[in-house]
Chains A and B, each alone.
Chain A
């Protein structure tokens, strides 16, 4: 198929398309080229830079790691690379604990975001039109202010002489302030609050497409609303659940700002460990290795999920 047919009929386009066609490019590959270029420049290239640094050794120099290529004493070019940094990550339980605890925090946050987000998305999807737009706007609106400011606002609520404690004390429900800041509880609140829209929006998009006739059919056949929900709505909204959960889980696992601001000293997360390696230990190579392992840990389950979904669609 020549690209010329698919594109418009104007002369310059036809000329370009003809040239590209002669060179072996189709219109389709041209369209794909742009996102591929984007991924190449902004994802693959930084990834290879990271990978290359992770094979080096820390050095007090500028930049602070050993060069990849070096002249051997006899003048020949040699490549200096080692997996030592990865081995080092295995030897210290700190890194394993940090990965595990990041995954735990992200998982718990995702579950809570799903439990809170699903009913909201369902309600919005079922709401009549003018109301629906207003509700959607209310989900999106907080995005118009800085995320950092909203986390600071939570600090105002949660602190010992903050809004919540002061209210509870003035109502006489508690005698002394409950310590909420600097706890895991505050971290969960921060993450669930921040990423909730990422859960609601894909779920909403999915649930609005749900065919009402299916629900009617279920109820005609005598299914209670509960049974209808679990046998019809929930399975059909599974793609929305997966998409929303991914969008919450992935940023949450590497979260640095929220645990730094709301978390306590016990909150061990990989984002913080990475910061320490980079800034406090000044060890860019180990920091890079931590980041690469993290990427593998996150990408592997996603690829698995993807393949499961593909198989489901084929089957």
Chain B
């Protein structure tokens, strides 16, 4: 593994934003307001953008799609570029939140991988409103030694049985299992484990999956969508349903801490969700031209490669892949092999009825009520 310290990402981004803000004072009125996930970019990209274009970047971060969506739906968010996950993007497009991309201003779209863009187009027909920033999978983060100690060295961890099969989960409960507190990730995973259609919106499937998960929840220590990063890294928990890059971040932190905690990531063989984070421009963006310039800049092969090398999430920029560090590009936990890619499925955007069903049933899973 590399010796790069992921825990420094935060500090660097803060320093970068400070530098960028200072520059904006000198550069004058040209700015672009970017709202992205936390720990999801490298400062060099932002600095170089400002150097080349003279456009200052106001960079702000969030840690959940819900936060982003609430601000977008409230209106007048003031952002020029936002990065929702594709399933959320689809609903937001329906709500009239975004403006169509102007392809004349985005020549670097030619760099994007056609297959991945086609997969994302299931949420945004013909990629009219957005392009892929990074993507990833929802799988299982685990503590190599603790799991081997309890299930044996030979146990193949790439299975949802780790968390859903009471017989196996019960053996892991004492070292701590955590689930994502996100029904849109957990139900498709449950469907995949049960052999149902992961994209199902059938209320009966949701009921069945709820019953299955309620039986397994006894072995769950908590439901949370970011706490698991530090808990896996500290050895506080041993198995976590998580997002690929986040789990790898935990692995890196654990290694940096040098406490003998070894964390790794598995994509369950029953199928796992592949998701896309998409760059889009709100309809009421104050600087739409600068927003296009920013998006086009990110789609430059060198920039996409620099970000992937830093955040360990795969990008969809085919022209950048030869510039991605060898060990990252060949790591199947980051860039899944073609064989594994076959088993991945994309998420679906739930209509409001299914949304309510899923949220309500998920409350039953989470609280037992």
| A-facing residues in B307-365 (Cβ within 8 Å) | 352, 355-356, 359-360, 362-363
Given contacts A60-B91, A62-B97, contact A280 B222 (CB under 8 A): no
Given contacts A278-B70, A280-B183, contact A60 B352 (CB under 8 A): yes
From B74, B94, B217, B363, contact of A63 by CB (8 A): B74
Given contacts A62-B97, A265-B367, A276-B363, contact A160 B222 (CB under 8 A): no
Task: For the complex, give the distance between the alpha carbons of A171 and B335 in Å.
Answer: 48
| B-facing residues in A270-292 (Cβ within 8 Å) | 273, 276-283
| B-facing residues in A75-128 (Cβ within 8 Å) | 92-94, 97
Asked if A62 and B96 make an inter-chain contact with CB atoms under 8 angstroms apart, the answer reads yes
| Interface flag for A64 (CB, 8 Å) | yes
Q: Mark B82-122, 1 if CB is under 8 A from A, else 0.
A: 00000000010011110000000000000000000000000
Mostly, the A contact residues are loop
| Interface flag for B2 (CB, 8 Å) | no
Asked if B236 and A281 make an inter-chain contact with CB atoms under 8 angstroms apart, the answer reads no
Q: Mark B157-189, 1 if CB is under 8 A from A, else 0.
A: 000000000000000000010000001000000
Asked if B94 and A265 make an inter-chain contact with CB atoms under 8 angstroms apart, the answer reads no
Asked if A63 and B236 make an inter-chain contact with CB atoms under 8 angstroms apart, the answer reads no
Task: For the complex, give the distance between the alpha carbons of A268 and B367 in Å.
Answer: 7
| A-facing residues in B269-308 (Cβ within 8 Å) | none
Asked if B359 and A61 make an inter-chain contact with CB atoms under 8 angstroms apart, the answer reads no
List chain A residues, Cβ under 8 A from B235.
161
List chain A residues, Cβ under 8 A from B64.
279
Residue of A nearest to B231 (CB): A159
Given contacts A280-B66, A282-B69, contact A265 B368 (CB under 8 A): yes
Asked if B360 and A92 make an inter-chain contact with CB atoms under 8 angstroms apart, the answer reads yes
| Interface flag for B6 (CB, 8 Å) | no
CB proximity of A266 to chain B, nearest CB, Å: 6
| Interface flag for B73 (CB, 8 Å) | yes
Range class of the A interface residue count: 20 to 34
Given contacts A62-B97, A265-B368, A282-B355, contact A94 B363 (CB under 8 A): yes
Given contacts A62-B97, A279-B70, contact A265 B75 (CB under 8 A): no
Asked if B221 and A182 make an inter-chain contact with CB atoms under 8 angstroms apart, the answer reads yes
Task: For the complex, give the distance between the alpha carbons of A265 and B223 in Å.
Answer: 6
CB proximity of A306 to chain B, nearest CB, Å: 34
Residue of A nearest to B356 (CB): A281
Residue of B nearest to A286 (CB): B356
| Interface flag for A21 (CB, 8 Å) | no
List chain A residues, Cβ under 8 A from B359.
276-277, 280-281
| A-facing residues in B53-92 (Cβ within 8 Å) | 64, 66-67, 69-70, 72-75, 91
CB proximity of A76 to chain B, nearest CB, Å: 26
Task: For the complex, give the distance between the alpha carbons of A137 and B89 in Å.
Answer: 51
| Interface flag for A58 (CB, 8 Å) | yes
| Interface flag for A67 (CB, 8 Å) | no
List chain A residues, Cβ under 8 A from B72.
62
From B96, B236, B356, contact of A161 by CB (8 A): B236
List chain A residues, Cβ under 8 A from B73.
61-64, 282
List chain B residues, Cβ under 8 A from A60.
91, 94-95, 352
List chain B residues, Cβ under 8 A from A268.
367, 369
From A61, A93, A267, contact of B95 by CB (8 A): A61
| Interface flag for B249 (CB, 8 Å) | no
Task: For the complex, give the distance between the alpha carbons of A94 and B97 in Å.
Answer: 32
Residue of B nearest to A279 (CB): B66
| Interface flag for B234 (CB, 8 Å) | yes
Residue of A nearest to B366 (CB): A265
Task: For the complex, give the distance between the alpha carbons of A280 and B366 in Å.
Answer: 14
Task: For the complex, give the distance between the alpha carbons of A266 and B67 in Å.
Answer: 24
List chain A residues, Cβ under 8 A from B176.
160
List chain B residues, Cβ under 8 A from A283.
352, 356
Asked if A58 and B367 make an inter-chain contact with CB atoms under 8 angstroms apart, the answer reads no
List chain B residues, Cβ under 8 A from A281.
352, 355-356, 359-360
| Interface flag for A264 (CB, 8 Å) | yes
Asked if A64 and B95 make an inter-chain contact with CB atoms under 8 angstroms apart, the answer reads yes
Q: Mark B188-225, 1 if CB is under 8 A from A, else 0.
A: 00000000000000000000000000000100111100
Chain B contacts to A: CB under 8 angstroms: 64, 66-67, 69-70, 72-75, 91, 94-97, 176, 183, 217, 220-223, 234-236, 352, 355-356, 359-360, 362-363, 366-369
Q: Could you list 23 A-B pairs, sorted by A, with CB under 8 Å?
A: A58-B352, A60-B94, A60-B95, A61-B73, A62-B96, A64-B95, A94-B360, A159-B236, A160-B176, A161-B236, A264-B222, A265-B222, A265-B368, A268-B367, A277-B359, A279-B64, A279-B66, A279-B67, A280-B359, A281-B352, A282-B69, A282-B352, A283-B356
Question: What 11 new A-B contacts, CB under 8 Å, besides A61-B73, A265-B223, A273-B363?
Answer: A61-B95, A97-B369, A159-B236, A161-B236, A277-B359, A279-B69, A280-B355, A281-B352, A281-B355, A282-B352, A282-B355
The 8 closest A-B pairs by CB, nearest first: A279-B66, A281-B359, A280-B359, A268-B367, A182-B222, A60-B95, A64-B73, A265-B366
